[in-house]
Structures are given as structure tokens and as C-alpha cells.
Amino acid sequence: NAGVTQTPKFRILKIGQSMTLQCTQDMNHNYMYWYRQDPGMGLKLIYYSVGAGITDKGEVPNGYNVSRSTTEDFPLRLELAAPSQTSVYFCASSPYKAGTSEKLFFGSGTQLSVL
């Protein structure tokens, strides 16, 4: 059981380039999230999804896009990368069953630098 898998682990982008951060989970969780964590800072919610075909904005969605075509996959797209997007990106999933199971399972993170 792999849990939540993120790729790549590290990436350096030039300003203006685009890329997709991959996230997949094998736990059949409905809820999936993307967070960014700036150095020494907390976790900010970028986008989240409550199931295949359904996505919604979080606290800091500007400059990002997501899609959820399957239960397993929740890729994060960066268009026109900017230095402000230098951060560690965490994908997470949750089974979310109200009153019984709300635990978040995190991937290992993607460290992104935009130069």
C-alpha cells in the first residue's frame, strides 16, 4: 500500500515555464488537497477536491489549476511560473467520514524552486 505518492520530489523551473505536479493515492479516498508550505511557514490550501470531477479553490489558488478525472489522481498545474511560487508542495488525501475518519494522509512533498 503506497498511500499518497507525489512526483517529482525536486524541480527547478525558470520564470515563465509551466509544469504539472503529480499526486496519486491508492486508498480510494474521496477528498484530496494541495497545500504549499513556504520556508518556515504554515500550510496554505491551494485547491481541493471532494471527488472525481469536483474541485474548488482554497486560500491561495492564483497561478494554479487542478483537475480530478479519477478518484486516484489529483495533478496540480503551474502556468507561467513565478519566483513567488517557490515552495514545498504537499498533496494529501482523506477518507472523510463524518464523525469517524477525517485524518489527512500526506505525500512526501515536492520542493519547487523558480529562478
Partner 1 sequence: GENVEQHPSTLSVQEGDSAVIKCTYSDSASNYFPWYKQELGKRPQLIIDIRSNVGEKKDQRIAVTLNKTAKHFSLHITETQPEDSAVYFCAAPAFTSGTYKYIFGTGTRLKVLA
Interacting residues toward partner 1 by CB under 8 A: 31, 33, 35, 40-45, 48, 50, 56, 58-59, 90, 92, 94, 96, 98-99, 102-104, 106-109
Tell me the three cell numbers of residue 58: 482554497
CB of 64 to partner 1, least distance (A): 15
Q: Which is nearer to partner 1, 44 or 77 (CB)?
A: 44
48 near 56, Cβ under 8 Å? Answer: yes
85 by DSSP, 3-state: which?
A: helix
CB of 31 to partner 1, least distance (A): 6
Q: CA 54, CA 69: separation in Å to the nearest integer?
A: 9
